[in-house]
Amino acid sequence: MSEKIPGTGGERYVPYAERTGNESIVYFTRDLSAEGIKKLYRRVNGRIQGKVALKLHTGEQYGPNIIPSAWVKEFMASELPDATIVETNTFYEGDRDTTEKHRETLKINGWDFCPVDITDEFGTADLLVLGGKWFDHMSVGRELPKYDSLVVLTHFKGHTMGGFGGSNKNIGIGCADGKIGKKMIHQAAGSDDQWSIAEEELMERMTESTKATVDYFGKKTCFINAMRNISVSCDCEGCLAEPVVTPDIGILASNDILAVDQACVDLIYALKDEDGAAMRERIESRHGHHQLAYMYELGMGNRKYLLLDIDHEDAPIRPADAVANVVPFVEDPKVAERRMKALAALAEAEAAKE
């Protein structure tokens, strides 16, 4: 376990009034659907051109909380018919640590309606990290630099080590290749512990990885975060993810990666105590707020923003307004059934090993 970096305060939420700097625009809708994604994308897609990569988390097999593939299929058919979903293999053993297993998982989870480029299938490439503390380059999938633009569609949720998983985590971990880049982020040199980097140091390494990718694509990027099925667990945990207790909130989008992740965290903190407690504890206990502080330190965006409600003619709203009418989370019965079947299959597989 890495030591906490003194004075960085990643366990502390920074209220809006204490932040400095300029404001970015973040768009918000309560419409959790393919249509909601489409409406937000049209607000932030002004510089998307050429060969387009769509980065999202496609999840472990039968994962109950991933963005529905049917939504993404409809979104891509309407807005990005020639785009390619991009992913990388995982550092941990599971359903996606080899390309062969990864391709089978993609089919199971419904991602077989368009091309999916597992970008590290045939090797790696290095992208520069400018101004980094830990890295001067990051190892990513070899195919990633062959794209002209990057659309980042993220399921915002908790994360076992990062505290929360927003656009920063989706890129920082998700674009690093499975065997070199992810090891650079997670494992200290000379350590046998695969997860020896944690807390502030992990947030910084992950963020420097993100910076390498967003610097490469420059202004030809946009970021969309869907706040639904907000488990404190990442989609990496699949059916073993902690049950969702946080209400669904909506979708946010921006051309500023820091602003959109910060706004999502602010919406979590604007929830009633009983609704937001689990996610707040997860973020604070993992020192996840340092993701946001370090993005700001590296000049990756603004922590202040203007939140525009596209459901009401782009009226400026506060985070408290955005979550004012949320309702307790209720799992879709079909999803619950699928999750229970998958858990039963996992138990049967474990029993067969004994």
Poorest-confidence range of 44-53, 84-93, 183-192, 334-343? 334-343
Length of the chain: 354
- Domain range list for the chain: 20-353
Interval 207-236 mean pLDDT: 97
Residue 3 in this model has a pLDDT that exceeds 70: no
Q: At 8, is the pLDDT very low, low, confident or very high (cuts 50, 70, 90)?
A: low
DSSP of 291-345: HHHHHHHTT---SEEEEEEGGGTTEE--HHHHTTT-------HHHHHHHHHHHHH
Q: Summarize pLDDT for 143-185 with one digit per residue, the tens.
A: 999 999 999 999 999 999 999 999 999 999 999 999 999 999 9
The residue written with tokens 């619950």 in the block is: 336
pTM (2 d.p.)? 0.94
pLDDT of residue 130: 97
Q: Summarize pLDDT for 94-127 with one digit per residue, the tens.
A: 899 999 999 999 999 999 999 999 999 999 999 9
Q: Are strands 250-254 and 23-29 parallel, antiparallel or unpaired?
A: antiparallel
